[in-house]
Structure 1
Amino acid sequence: MSAAIVYKPLTFAELPAWNEDDHAAAFKAFRKSCERVLASARERTASDKVPPPPAALVRACTAAGQLPAHASKDAAKTFFEENFTPNALSHKGPKGLFTGYYEPLIHGSRTPQGQFKTPVYRRPPDLVNLVDETQRGTVGASLTHARKTDKGVEPFFTRAQIEQGALKGKNLELLYFADPVDVFFMQIQGSGRVKLTDGTVIRVHYDGKNGHPYTSIGRYLIEKGLLAADKVSMGALAKWLKADPERAKKVMWQNASYVFFRELKGTEATGPLGAMNAVLTPGRSLAVDPSHHTLGIPIYLSAAGMTHVNRAGGAFNRLMIAQDVGSAIKGPERGDIYFGSGDAAGRLAGVTKHAGQFFVLLPNEAPLRAQAAQTKVTPKKTPQ
């Protein structure tokens, strides 16, 4: 059962460094979410299982549509101040923690050749969702996906079974890569850009998972005494795994979760997609726990010790938009910041693990309580 949240209304003047933020950048990201919120409100049917977006959020999104997409900083700031009320959170859940994720760039091939022997698979036709994709973070250790059979559904193959050939010969191979560790981390991120052997670059994205719970191998290595807790980062994990491929295989199998991908094409390929099917914005898109927060809602983050993100240094105080979810993102003040594509973004994401605080901007006329209503999405996106 999720911890109850008490919302304490504040003024915008009480938000740390509110006036110094780039509200125009946040507004652009918010507009992307609003396209999905408004579409969900228009396109609902009687069979929809996902609750509708809150009426107050729909009204705020309608108001956002009256402004140009490239609104000035002052206009964007005024929009948020007129349409939302910031709230501090009081709860019995874990203290606020911010991490980061990104979109890696990896070399790969459409066919098995030379060094490219490790496949990633497209979504199997017998894979079914047991919960909506936006709800994956709310079911604990329960299966989120399963394998459909003539007798009903059964657990899908684990990571170990898949990597030992459970899907071989089913014509599900999407791409091939040189290093299983790169594949593992791309699955954790949920998306990737792939430079093919002919020099072209494509974008692949999450298209479902095998449904088994996500297990942190970093935590596993700490518990086994193989890595010190203060030394664990994305870079340290990758270095440890790549040092011994056979050892790495057994450790990665501790995480039974396995992600399937699809290639993005056309307008979809302009950037990685979050759980709302909105293109993510570097430094403004946030993955949250959907059992506590409505997707599409603005959330102001404050982390005094997170000084590596801003070019000039100093505390991290920034208005983000809740646009994504992740199996490891659990708790009222647990946030995963999308940093963008490529190595530089990866370096930022890899060293981000800082305490901080959420200030949730609830749309005016909304009840001051936790709203877990979710925006309707196509059940195909987001990292594990």
Structure 2
Amino acid sequence: MNTASSSATSASRSIHVIAMLSSVAALCAFVGSCGTVRGPAPPVGSRSAAPATEPPSVVFQAVPFSALPGWSNDTPAAALPSFAASCRALIGRGESAAIWRPACAAASAVAAHDDAGARAFFEAQFTPYRVTTADGIDVGRVTGYYEPRLKGSRARDDRYRYPLYAPPDDLLTVELGEIFPALQSERVRGRLDGKRVLPYWSRAEIEAGQARLSGRELVWIDDPVEAFFVHIQGSARVDLADRSSVRIGYADQNGHPYRSIGRVLIERGELTLEQASMQGIKAWATQHPAKLPSLLDENPSYVFFREIAADSDQGIDGPIGALGVPLAAGRAVAVDARFLPLGAPLFL
């Protein structure tokens, strides 16, 4: 079972999916309202896309727990720490709090490593729903995560020259709905220039030193490509020279749209679609170091980070997912919040 999601770069495989939902949570899955989180802001001056009005392209069919292959032999107690970690966020999320509070309270009463107790908990609190497409296809692609492990330093030197920054003090967020109710949920990122709000600096401008980022360095990395991919993946663990390590995760973004450098290389004819993987891009960078800075600047988006502590309550030491809680290894998959609430247990 998997109970959280994240934005990290992922690996995937085809698999059958069973979602465990309460009757109210099942409704939330259909309307797409109970599991949504706010992502990076759109660029300055952009308008958020209107929510889709088409019916969901997935179908939920209630099934008994006996229909779950291997359920009686599974180890559901291993999923409870992830669910408990999710509960801290779920019961504090406005309209979803009442939905999740009974299950979260019941989960806290299950003893650690008690598979029978955990199985009884899930069977009492949830109804399984088989997830299929509108055409009845019950095999899909499930996405999981990996966390890169990099070498770094707290101080810059000849080896460690590529910084990962905390959010700058002059990065401005404007919640437009607070000014114009018709623009509820819309926001922009920018910076002040006198009394004007301008777009925040792009990646190229930041790399050229135009942003005031001195002193905001969290760590320095020894590879510009690895540092760039942390911006895409959103998190990493960095091993420091003193043999300690630090986990960093997404904190904010400059408001500019993301542009794929893999797509740029394809458009230039330097890589084929099949070659434009992370490994292919890294190989290209090794072969063309002089071209690398200008290629990276093709993506104007720039991410800022924060340090992340381990979840001492649940013993989970993983990157932060879209729900804002740490992800446990082997217990997290990505979900589309239009169809499945974040935090809903899945049986794969």
TM-score (normalizing by structure 2): 0.68
3-state SS of paired residue (2:333)? strand
Q: Which residue of 2 aligns with 1:82?
A: 124
Measured in 2, the distance between the counterparts of 1:82 and 1:30 equals 15
- Higher deviation after alignment, 75-84 or 220-229: 220-229
**Alignment counterpart, residue 263 of structure 1, candidates 283, 297, 307:** 307
> Would you say the 8 A contact 2:142–2:334 is kept in 1?
no
Does 1:248 find its partner at 2:303? Answer: no
**Alignment counterpart, residue 331 of structure 2, candidates 278, 281, 284:** 284
Q: Which residue of 1 aligns with 2:248?
A: 204
Give me the identity figure in percent: 37
User: Residue 198 of structure 1: CA displacement?
Assistant: 2.8
* Cα offsets for 1:328-351 (capped at 9, x unmatched): xxxxxxxxxxxxxxxxxxxxxxxx
Q: How many residues align?
A: 280
* Cα offsets for 1:13-40 (capped at 9, x unmatched): 44455455442222221111012223x1
Q: Which residue of 2 aligns with 1:124?
A: 168
Q: Which residue of 2 aligns with 1:378?
A: none
Measured in 2, the distance between the counterparts of 1:153 and 1:287 equals 35
Measured in 1, the distance between the counterparts of 2:187 and 2:134 equals 27
The 3 A distance-change label for structure 1 pair 263 and 20 is: same
| Letter of the structure 2 residue corresponding to residue 37 of structure 1 | L
Measured in 1, the distance between the counterparts of 2:304 and 2:265 equals 25
Measured in 2, the distance between the counterparts of 1:13 and 1:279 equals 31
> Would you say the 8 A contact 2:168–2:212 is kept in 1?
no
> Would you say the 8 A contact 1:206–1:261 is kept in 2?
yes
> Would you say the 8 A contact 1:23–1:73 is kept in 2?
yes
User: Residue 63 of structure 1: CA displacement?
Assistant: 1.9
> Would you say the 8 A contact 1:32–1:278 is kept in 2?
yes
**Unaligned 5+ runs, structure 1:** 42-50, 133-138, 301-317, 319-384
Equivalent residue runs for 1:357-372 within 5 Å: none
**Unaligned 5+ runs, structure 2:** 1-50, 177-182
Q: Output the aligned Cα RMSD.
A: 3.3
User: Residue 284 of structure 1: CA displacement?
Assistant: 1.1
User: Residue 260 of structure 1: CA displacement?
Assistant: 0.8
Measured in 1, the distance between the counterparts of 2:311 and 2:81 equals 17
**Alignment counterpart, residue 113 of structure 1, candidates 140, 147, 157:** 157
| Letter of the structure 2 residue corresponding to residue 181 of structure 1 | V
User: Residue 164 of structure 1: CA displacement?
Assistant: 2.0
- Higher deviation after alignment, 159-168 or 222-231: 222-231
Q: Which residue of 2 aligns with 1:275?
A: 322
Does 1:53 find its partner at 2:100? Answer: no
**Alignment counterpart, residue 78 of structure 2, candidates 7, 20, 25:** 25
3-state SS of paired residue (1:227)? coil
> Would you say the 8 A contact 1:4–1:91 is kept in 2?
no
Equivalent residue runs for 1:326-337 within 5 Å: none
TM-score (normalizing by structure 1): 0.63
- Higher deviation after alignment, 278-287 or 210-219: 210-219
The 3 A distance-change label for structure 1 pair 54 and 106 is: same
Measured in 2, the distance between the counterparts of 1:227 and 1:98 equals 27
3-state SS of paired residue (2:96)? coil
* Cα offsets for 1:238-270 (capped at 9, x unmatched): 222233223233332232221111233576794
User: Residue 279 of structure 1: CA displacement?
Assistant: 1.7
